[in-house]
Amino acid sequence: MASQYKQQGIALFQVLLMTAIIAVLALQFTQTAKNQVAIATIMADRVKAELTQKSAESAVIFALLTEPLEKNTEAGSLIANQWNFFNKAFTLKHELSPSTAISPTAYNTRSSTVATTLAIQDMNGLVTLYRGGNVKLVARLLKRFAVTDADASIIVNSLVDWQDFDSLVSTNGAEKANYNVQGMPSNMPLQSFSELLYVKGMTPMLAEKIKAFVTIRPQGYFNPMNAPKEVLSLLVPSEKVDNIIRLRDNESLTINEFALQSGIATDEGLYFYTSGLLRITLKTEVNDVVLTKQLDVFVQPNNKYPYIEYGIQH
């Protein structure tokens, strides 16, 4: 009897071995399949995010071209009844999100979270660097970020020299001889924000700090009412700024109220009306995928060219 059991033991051993091999293979297969599903899901989510973002972009452009540029809670447009032009983010209502219309498919039955956040900044409320901009204002902005008077003077004057068409070096400025690199300065208006990095005196860290508060585009006029807090502080005493920002966030800041609080009076080149020169930031989230897009546009509904794209940043 004992010898019989020994022979059966070998068969058992074989069976165990085979089972082990098959189990290892099966494990490997499930692991790979899991990975593939994860990758494919991310891909699908990305496509979904891209389409959702595209729809949101179209909806926002449509609203900009058809609605007055002010918040109107009575507006039929789901964007115009909640938008603002001082870069305060707002979430798009679900009706605008096409993803709700797409029925879940066999491979994608899990519930997904889809959301698009929008922020619109009137670029007339920013500090323009176009052709050097308002030199005093630019210098004041730089000094806010711990730049010394001397350095600020070098940067603003070099910025003017970089963009003017001549080769005359202004005081504290910089022309060809100071750069010694082919193509610098461009002697043309800045064509991208990153070009600023190469201007004498500018550092990548400083550029990053001022990025949200400047524009390289020409402004028809300046509109401090839509300016970010940091820019408004350059013009208005700080104790007033907080009050103005609080009123603006509560949506109770009228033009008269702003003029009264800030002490700024309109003149040629300074108005309190939202312009069509806008920076639109779209952030779309689909599960773990986050897509951001920034558009610099000029909207003028009554012009031959109602919609002009200056730049797109992904």
| Site for other proteins, rule CB under 8 A | 3-4, 29, 32, 36, 39, 43, 46, 131, 164-166, 179, 181-189, 191-192, 194-195, 197-198, 218, 298, 304-305, 308-314
First to last CA, the chain: 78
Closest approach, Cβ 195 to other proteins, in A, equals 7
Q: Decide whether 80 or 285 has the Cβ nearer to other proteins.
A: 285
Q: How far is CA 95 from CA 79, 98, 199, in A?
A: 11, 7, 46
Closest approach, Cβ 55 to other proteins, in A, equals 16
Closest approach, Cβ 191 to other proteins, in A, equals 6
CA distance 92 to 56: 8
The position carrying tokens 């991208």 is: 192
Q: Decide whether 148 or 192 has the Cβ nearer to other proteins.
A: 192
Closest approach, Cβ 227 to other proteins, in A, equals 24
Q: Decide whether 38 or 260 has the Cβ nearer to other proteins.
A: 38
Other Cβ atoms within 10 Å of 219 Cβ, number: 20
The three-state secondary structure class of 107 is coil
Q: What is the largest CA-CA distance in the chain?
A: 112
Q: Decide whether 66 or 313 has the Cβ nearer to other proteins.
A: 313
CA distance 84 to 61: 14
Q: Decide whether 58 or 91 has the Cβ nearer to other proteins.
A: 58
Closest approach, Cβ 267 to other proteins, in A, equals 24
Peptide bond into 98 cis (omega under 30): no
CA distance 273 to 280: 18
